[in-house]
A = this chain, B = another copy of it.
Amino acid sequence: MANEPLTRGERTRQDLMEAAYRLFIEQGYHGTSMRQIAEEAELALGGIYNHFSAKEALFVTILDAYHPYHDILPALNEAPGETIEAFVHAAADRMVSALEDRPGFFNLIFIEIVEFEGRHLPTIFNQAVPQLEALLQRFQQTPGALRPLPLPVLLRAFVGLFFSYTLTEVLMAGSFPPDYQEDALEGLLDIFLHGILPSTGHA
């Protein structure tokens, strides 16, 4: 959070990116016009092209700067927890906080999948590999035995937990009695933990 002074140009670039981010996740890529972005950033249309060569270049920059890996993976890796259970709960708490801060968190990924057919994902993912590996190490090194599971599967199950939570929430929102879904995330975590820990002794 060290706010080094930004040059005028850097400031404008920041404003543009924030404006574009907000508009993209609300309206999609093709649903957002360069004029809307200019207006939201309080800039004339032509001014955008001093900072970004084209609309797609702007999107790619945003995808790169705002995708979930940047915020979420470090938050997960820094979660405390001396047992697997404690760690998973702490990590989930952090994930939920991050998700609440930015309700449109996954939208960027959905836009990329639908409107760009996932073209830019491999690059993004490769940046995240070190963080993902650290996360795996954390699972392995934290005391408390795990069932013998392939590590990528463990990782996919864990990450997928939050896709499951978020998407089923959106899909089923307001259609189940509210008291029924109060602790849905805890329930999902419970299934996950029970699923990855050895049977013995676990409730």
Chain B residues with Cβ below 8 Å from A188 are 153, 156-157, 160
B125 touches A171 (CB 8 A): yes
The yes or no answer to A168 lying at the interface (CB within 8 A) is: yes
Chain B residues with Cβ below 8 Å from A152 are 172, 176, 180-181, 184
The yes or no answer to A54 lying at the interface (CB within 8 A) is: no
Considering the complex, which residues of chain A in the window 157-191 have a beta carbon less than 8 Å from any beta carbon of chain B?
A: 157, 159-161, 163-165, 167-168, 170-176, 180-181, 183-184, 187-188, 190-191
Minimum CB–CB distance from A72 to chain B (whole Å) comes to 12
Considering the complex, which residues of chain A in the window 6-25 have a beta carbon less than 8 Å from any beta carbon of chain B?
A: 25
Interface size on A, residues (CB 8 A): 62
The yes or no answer to A3 lying at the interface (CB within 8 A) is: no
Chain B residues with Cβ below 8 Å from A125 are 171-173, 175
Cβ-defined partner of A170 (8 Å) among B113, B174, B196: B113
- Cα of A28 to Cα of B115 in the assembled complex, Å: 6
Minimum CB–CB distance from A197 to chain B (whole Å) comes to 9
User: What are 18 residue pairs bridging A and B, where the CB atoms are less than 8 Å apart in the complex?
Assistant: A25-B114, A27-B115, A28-B111, A30-B31, A107-B114, A122-B174, A122-B175, A125-B172, A150-B183, A151-B180, A157-B164, A161-B164, A163-B167, A163-B168, A194-B195, A194-B199, A195-B195, A199-B199
